[in-house]
Structure 1
């Protein structure tokens, strides 16, 4: 399961990194929770948060959809959160 967690984190990183102006400030922490789901925390520079969220949250919703679709083959729940 750890391999899948790393793959999901890599997917999220590969989608977010081209969107932001300060890629050195990107921090992604992915871990498996007690119930077997994957929780991905994303931290970006304060200036880049709006780009990751997008208008009306469309970009972050799309990132969540991609991550969940990638994990759907193993019926694993994925949650992606953008932290301040």
Structure 2
């Protein structure tokens, strides 16, 4: 399932000022794949965006990728 994590990593690294601090962790669940995205605290606003628009877009892309591989994907943004 590294495809989804890789996609999230590329998206996050392109948005933040500290791409070296981007961490992506995939947790295989029974019913879903949970992708944890951790960025520097100074970059959290860039990943979430105004009114959460960027976060919703990231989640939508992850969901589309999950549909393609036949898995439910949940993206959690943590600080």
Cα deviation 1:49-74 (Å, max 9, x = unaligned): 00000000000100000010011124
TM-score under structure 1 normalisation? Answer: 0.88
Once the two structures are superposed, residues 26-65 of structure 1 have per-residue CA deviations (whole angstroms, 9 ceiling, x without a partner) of: 1100121122x11000110000000000000000100000
Q: Aligned pair 1:72/2:67, yes or no?
A: yes
What 5-or-longer segments of structure 2 have no aligned partner? none
| Aligned equivalent of 1:24 | 20
What secondary structure does 1:12 align onto? Answer: helix
Q: Which runs of 4+ in 1 moved over 2 A?
A: none
In the TM superposition, what are the counterparts of 1:24-43 in structure 2 within 5 Å? 24-35=20-31, 37-43=32-38
Alpha carbon RMSD of aligned pairs, Å? 0.9
Partner of 2:43: 48
Match for residue 81 of structure 1 among 67, 73, 76: 76
TM-score normalised over the length of structure 2: 0.94
